[in-house]
Chains A and B, each alone.
Chain A
C-alpha cells in the first residue's frame, strides 16, 4: 500500500490521526496533515483505509502496490 496526502485539500479535522496515529500526524502551526509513513506495514492497512474513508476532505490517497 502506498499512501499520499494532499495538504491543500486537508482541513485539519484530525480524523486520520485518531484512526491511524502511526501513519498520520498534524503540523503544529495549523493542524494540516503530516504523513509519517508512506508505505505502512500490513498490520496498519485497515486503520489507514479507515483514515482515508473518514477524511472529510478526501485528502488521503491510497494505491495498492503492483
Chain B
C-alpha cells in the first residue's frame, strides 16, 4: 500500500500537491514552495496524482542519505513505489534493486567508462562540427533544438548502439511520448512497445551479424545465456531514450541560461582554459537539472530521514532541482557561476542508480560548450525570452523550441 496519512498529520494544514509549479517568469528556478519546504520542513508529506502521500525530501544531505541507503527500493513494479504517472513505467535496470540491477548495469558499464568515453572524443567533436556546418549553411534564424540540440546526442547514441540515424524521427517521436506527462498510459505503453519492437529486431539481427557496438555486445550475453532477448531489448530502449532526450534538453536549456547570463557566456566562449568548460558542465547541470519530477524510492524497513521516522512501505520523493539549490551545499545557490566547484551536485542522481552514462553526457556537453558559442559568437534569441515554450509537461525539463539567430 502506498503511504497514507498518519492520524497525527490529519489536523495539520493541507497536504500540498506534488509536483508544484514554478514561479511565473523564473523558468530556471525550482518551485518557490520547494524552497520554503527546504527551509522549514525538510521532510513533509505531499500528495501525488493518485492521492498517495509519500514523503518529500528537500535538503541536499538528506536526499543523498536516502538515495545512498540500501534499505530503500527503486522497484517500480512494487505497489509501495510512489509513481510519477499512471501505468507501469518500468524500464530495465533503473526500476530494479540489486543484485539484479547491478548484474544488468555491469553488462553495459564498459561502454561508459571514463577511458572508453574519452576515446569517443574525436567522433563526438566531428558530429558537433558537422551539425554546425549544416546549420550554418541553412536558414537563419533556426530552431536550435531541431537543428542542433537533438541531432547531436541522437547521432552519438546511434553510433554507440549502431542504430540507423535515418530512423531518428521514429525513435525521437516515441521517446517524446514516453517521457511526456501528458501522454496517457496507453500512449506511453504503445511508445515503449514500438521502440521495443524496433530495437528487438536489431538485437536479433545482430545475433547473426554482430558488429562493434553495444547491442552486439549484449548479443554475446544472450548467446552465453546471461540475458534474454527481451531483457537485452529493454536495456537498448533505456539507453536510446536516456542517451538523447536528456543531453538534448541540457544543450538547449544551457544555451538559454547562458544567453540570459551574458557574462558567463563570454567567460566560457573566450577562455582558453579547458577547465572552465569542464566546470561549466557541472555548474549548468547543477543549476538547470533537466530531470525534474523527483527521484522516487520507498522504504523497505523503518529508516530515519532528516531526524524523523519513515516507516517500511512509505514512499520517498527527492526532487534534485531543490537539493542542488541547497545553500548548505552550494553557497549563493541561485547564482549561475561556471567557475564554482559543483561536481558534488545530484543532477545525475545519487546512490547505485546514479546515471551510468554521465561520462558520455559530460563529454558531449563539454564539446558543445567549447564549440557552439565560438562558432556562433553572435548567437542570440530570435524570440522574446518570455515567449519560449518551456517543457512544464515532461519528466525531462527543457524547451520545446529554441528560435535563435546569429
A→B interface (CB under 8 Å): 9, 11-15, 17-19, 21, 25-32, 50, 53-54, 56-58
User: Residue-by-residue, is B96-121 near A (CB-CB < 8 Å gives 1, otherwise 0)?
Assistant: 00000010011101101111110000
Query: Does the CB pair B68–A56 fall under 8 Å?
Result: yes
Query: Does the CB pair A56–B351 fall under 8 Å?
Result: yes
Some 23 contacts from A to B, beta carbons below 8 A apart, are A11-B352, A11-B353, A12-B112, A13-B348, A13-B356, A13-B358, A14-B112, A15-B354, A15-B358, A17-B115, A18-B114, A26-B113, A26-B115, A27-B113, A28-B110, A30-B107, A31-B106, A32-B106, A50-B344, A56-B67, A56-B349, A56-B350, A56-B354
Q: Complex: how many Å from CA A66 to CA B102?
A: 35
Query: Does the CB pair B343–A13 fall under 8 Å?
Result: no
Query: Does the CB pair B112–A31 fall under 8 Å?
Result: yes
- Whether, in the assembled complex, B355 has its beta carbon less than 8 Å from a beta carbon of chain A, the answer is yes
Residues of B within 8 A of A (CB-CB), count? 28
Q: How many A-B residue pairs have CB under 8 A?
A: 78
Pick the contact of A12 from B109, B348, B349 — CB < 8 Å?
B109
Question: What's the nearest-Cβ distance from chain A to residue B300, in Å?
Answer: 17
Pick the contact of A14 from B67, B344, B358 — CB < 8 Å?
B358
Query: Does the CB pair B68–A31 fall under 8 Å?
Result: no
- Whether, in the assembled complex, B333 has its beta carbon less than 8 Å from a beta carbon of chain A, the answer is no
Pick the contact of A28 from B116, B348, B358 — CB < 8 Å?
B116
Q: Which B residues touch A26, using CB under 8 A? A: 109, 113-115
Q: Which B residues touch A27, using CB under 8 A? A: 113
User: Residue-by-residue, is B70-112 near A (CB-CB < 8 Å gives 1, otherwise 0)?
Assistant: 0000000000000000000000000000000010011101101
Query: Does the CB pair A54–B344 fall under 8 Å?
Result: yes
- The residue in chain A whose Cβ has the minimal distance to the Cβ of B117 is A14
Q: Enumerate the 3 nearest inter-chain pairs by beta-carbon distance, A residue then B residue, closest first.
A: A31-B109, A56-B354, A30-B106
Query: Does the CB pair A31–B348 fall under 8 Å?
Result: no
Query: Does the CB pair A50–B343 fall under 8 Å?
Result: yes
Q: Which B residues touch A57, using CB under 8 A? A: 68, 351-352, 354
Query: Does the CB pair A13–B354 fall under 8 Å?
Result: yes
- Whether, in the assembled complex, B403 has its beta carbon less than 8 Å from a beta carbon of chain A, the answer is no
